[in-house]
Amino acid sequence: MSSRGSEKRFVVCIDNRGYEASLEPRKIYQATPDRTASKRGLIRIVDESGEDYLYPEKYFVPIEVPRSIEEALSLS
């Protein structure tokens, strides 16, 4: 995945092996750009607490969401 500056992106979790306590399959997560992590095959995901953590990039698929949904998801 390429970094798009400070632009918010959303992804869907498709696998949570090894991270069952942290990730839920089929859940939408906010991802923040991190070029260094991406070079290592990782993606930075923001969880419900507002903290971000690194996970394997292959566990997520990027999705496009309408602006109204993006705004609603960003409020959580």
Set out the domains of the chain in order of their start, with CATH numbers. 9-75 (2.30.30)
pTM: 0.80
Please give the pLDDT value at position 74.
72
Sequence-distant (6+) residues with CB within 8 A of 30 are 8, 9, 10, 45, 46, 73, 74
Tokens at 28, concatenated: 């939408």
Note the pLDDT tens digit of each residue in 12-66.
Answer: 999 999 999 999 999 999 999 999 999 999 999 998 788 999 999 999 999 998 8
> How confident is residue 1, by pLDDT bands cut at 50, 70 and 90?
very low
pLDDT interval class at 5 (50, 70, 90): very low
Residue 4 has pLDDT above 90, yes or no: no
Buried residues in 28-55 as b, exposed as e (16+ CB within 10 A)? ebbbebbeebeeeebbbbbeeeeebeeb
Q: Are 6 and 33 in contact (CB under 8 A)?
A: yes
pLDDT on residue 73: 76
